[in-house]
Chains A and B, each alone.
Chain A
């Protein structure tokens, strides 16, 4: 039994930018409710300047992360799975607060761990599947290799953990860095996941997580000229067209919201959506 006189130590849910956990630059927060409408916690309500700072952090992290060997990125993603597994109970608790039953919450956390492992395995196989050795009429080797596209803006879906992992992991496994707007009504697992990421040898800035209003943050992310791709998984259907329009300013690759069954085996689509193909000619015999 806990000592009745002891005060509970409550966690302050902050943002995750550049490997650190700052409060929103704006100083704002919003109330997150549990499934029954009771008070759960205050989460930071990020502003457009937090978006800007997060993009700066993601851009700064990109050269280092994309230069890691694919094998090393796979190791780090696997490490994320290990760390997540170690916090299983905490995530189950957070998901149950949001209304999931015990079994469903357990399945969701296991699914998230397995999703990291699944994508970790893809790290050093992606080039073999998405790349090619091309036959050419001349004394050259000709290779097409997939390259990360840069910084990816991710509007995470409502599924607070498995959905989040299912959109973040494929974005970063190939060497991209990500700025993620977490599920608006269920942001707490995202920030707890940030604690997992921060202790998994993932370099600071590779994943940046913002909590707050999607409608407020998504347009800034979509129009930001230093963001190279946009995953609209969690965007409201009526906002998609406007966000795509905003993203056209610098020809961002845009992944539209699709089927939302996150428990299914994902396939390679989310990974290849954020790749560019580089083709190299190399003389034979040199």
Chain B
């Protein structure tokens, strides 16, 4: 892997002199991903048994990593406020449940979420850049981003131009991300690769490096709007990418699988994957997030099973 070149280029978010040819040579110079091997490794790690005290710890950690998300056309301010209340106090009957990491909404509702979450310590994330397709003029996408930041969002989830990426126009994707990075100002930038549309794990690795070099604070798997969302092998490849990127540059980028994470078991599998791939440095809400909504109820149900000793049911938790 040509990591030496990168270090020489001082390749972090301030990279400015990137040529199309250099970028292309770099991304295509990344080693290929062994698809079968990645699936096998993810499968093997998924079989790890996490029980009792370790499970209790994993559940609390997973809750604190959730980006509680509502991204529906039918979202209302009331629904967002309800979700914010849940984010700050996931289980009203148990104050020892940690709050979630962030609430993720559309930009027009970011202001509502910011007001509802003031003083709770829960961050407000907003999708932007013509989510979920990203098919809008750059100016519109930047305006979208600025509006979300102006409304108070401290985390921006942007989508990359998958069309340009698949067509091989890496520089365009790079410059888009860099431009959105600038528009974010102090806000954290999560770059959604939409891995379900990238076709191969090689592409996932390239897109991860591309996003990190362009200044992403987080790389995120999916929008949740297409059938193929986060999978363990894809997340494995992304975790390897952030690990290698830190080894090359010293900068630590976070990872956020999103979509399709529905059960506690799923969530714990991701935590095991993080620990075994990127390492314990990533086991914190600052470096790893779970983009989901329904998984929170399952985590709370399992948590209550551990504290009360009896199985709980969906009747006792909010319907989101």
**Are A226 and B310 in contact (CB-based, < 8 A)?**
no
Chain A interface, >50% SS class: helix
Cβ of A277 under 8 Å from chain B: no
User: Which one of A220, A226, A246 lies within 8 Å of B312 (CB-CB)?
Assistant: A226
Interface residues of B in 260-318 (CB under 8 A from A): 309-316
Q: What 1/0 flags go to A213-229 for Cβ under 8 Å of B? A: 00000001001111100
In the complex, chain B residues whose CB is within 8 Å of the CB of A59: 313-314
In Å, the complex CA distance between A52 and B309 comes to: 13
User: Which one of B311, B315, B316 lies within 8 Å of A223 (CB-CB)?
Assistant: B311
In the complex, chain A residues whose CB is within 8 Å of the CB of B314: 59, 226
Interface residues of A in 234-260 (CB under 8 A from B): 246, 249-250
In the complex, chain B residues whose CB is within 8 Å of the CB of A196: none
List the A residue with the shortest CB-CB distance to B314: A226
Counting contact residues on chain B (CB < 8 A from A), the size range is under 10
B50 to chain A, nearest CB (A): 14
In the complex, chain B residues whose CB is within 8 Å of the CB of A225: 310-313, 315-316
A58 to chain B, nearest CB (A): 11
**Are A55 and B311 in contact (CB-based, < 8 A)?**
yes
In Å, the complex CA distance between A116 and B312 comes to: 33
**Are B313 and A220 in contact (CB-based, < 8 A)?**
no
In the complex, chain B residues whose CB is within 8 Å of the CB of A220: 310-311
B313 to chain A, nearest CB (A): 3
In Å, the complex CA distance between A226 and B317 comes to: 12
Q: Identify the interface centre among B313, B314, B315: most chain A CB within 10 Å of its CB.
A: B313
A29 to chain B, nearest CB (A): 21
**Are A249 and B311 in contact (CB-based, < 8 A)?**
no
In Å, the complex CA distance between A250 and B311 comes to: 11
In Å, the complex CA distance between A167 and B311 comes to: 24
In Å, the complex CA distance between A225 and B301 comes to: 10
Q: What 1/0 flags go to A69-87 for Cβ under 8 Å of B? A: 0000000000000000000
List the B residue with the shortest CB-CB distance to A227: B313
B31 to chain A, nearest CB (A): 39
In Å, the complex CA distance between A59 and B311 comes to: 13
Q: Identify the interface centre among B310, B311, B316: most chain A CB within 10 Å of its CB.
A: B311
In Å, the complex CA distance between A220 and B309 comes to: 9
In the complex, chain B residues whose CB is within 8 Å of the CB of A246: 310
Q: Identify the interface centre among B309, B310, B314, B315: most chain A CB within 10 Å of its CB.
A: B310
In the complex, chain B residues whose CB is within 8 Å of the CB of A226: 311-315
List the B residue with the shortest CB-CB distance to A150: B315
**Are A52 and B310 in contact (CB-based, < 8 A)?**
no
List the B residue with the shortest CB-CB distance to A246: B310
**Are B315 and A249 in contact (CB-based, < 8 A)?**
no
List the A residue with the shortest CB-CB distance to B316: A225
List the B residue with the shortest CB-CB distance to A220: B311
Interface residues of A in 191-222 (CB under 8 A from B): 220
A179 to chain B, nearest CB (A): 12
In the complex, chain B residues whose CB is within 8 Å of the CB of A55: 311, 313
A229 to chain B, nearest CB (A): 13
Question: Can you report 20 residue pairs joining A to B where beta carbons are below 8 Å apart?
Answer: A51-B311, A55-B311, A59-B314, A220-B311, A223-B309, A223-B310, A223-B311, A224-B310, A224-B313, A225-B310, A225-B312, A225-B313, A225-B315, A225-B316, A226-B311, A226-B312, A227-B313, A246-B310, A249-B310, A250-B313
Q: Known contacts A52-B311, A220-B311, A225-B315; can you find 4 more A-B pairs with CB under 8 A?
A: A223-B311, A226-B311, A226-B315, A227-B313
